[in-house]
Structure 1
Amino acid sequence: MSIELNVGLVRGLLTLILFLAFMTLWAWAWNKNRKHDFDRMARLPLEDQDPTQEQPR
């Protein structure tokens, strides 16, 4: 085996791994089970108060 074949093989495997990681992340983000969480986070800028602040007593 030549070194050029090994470099090409490594590049191909790395491309495959990165592609699979991207597709996994894409599937996670577009999963319909995540819709509730993303909708809740989308409304955060419109809320009047910061939910982490304590309420005055």
Structure 2
Amino acid sequence: MTPVPPADEPVGVRARFEAKFPRGLIIRLIAYLFVGHLFAFFVYLLFVLGGQNQ
């Protein structure tokens, strides 16, 4: 975890963001969102292809 400088020093947006959310959490969040959307697309594709066979 990166140390946060005192309030009187200018702090970048990225440093403030990473102070609140660890980098590993951000990577997992992006991965879960990607995998979740990929799974939802797969289920949607199954319904579309299954509906064409009726």
TM-score of Structure 1 vs Structure 2, range by shorter chain: 0.5 to 0.7
TM-score with structure 1 length normalisation?
0.55
**CA-to-aligned-CA distance 1:6-53 (integer Å, 9 cap, x gap):** 00000000010000000011100001xx237xxxxxxxxxxxxxxxxx
- Distance between the aligned counterparts of 1:2 and 1:27, measured in 2? 38
Is 1:3–2:33 an aligned residue pair?
no
Q: Separation in 2 of the partners of 1:26 and 1:35?
A: 11
Q: CA RMSD in A?
A: 1.2
Q: Which runs of 5+ in 1 are unaligned?
A: 37-57
Tell me what 2:53 maps to: 35
What is the total number of aligned residue pairs between the two structures?
34
What TM-score, normalized by structure 2, do the two folds share?
Answer: 0.58
Calculate percent identity across the aligned residue pairs: 21
Distance 2:29 2:23 in 1: 10
1:8 is matched by which residue type in structure 2? R
Counterpart position of 2:32: 12
Q: Tell me, which stretches of 5 or more residues in structure 2 are unaligned? A: 1-20
Q: Could you say which structure has the larger radius of gyration?
A: 1
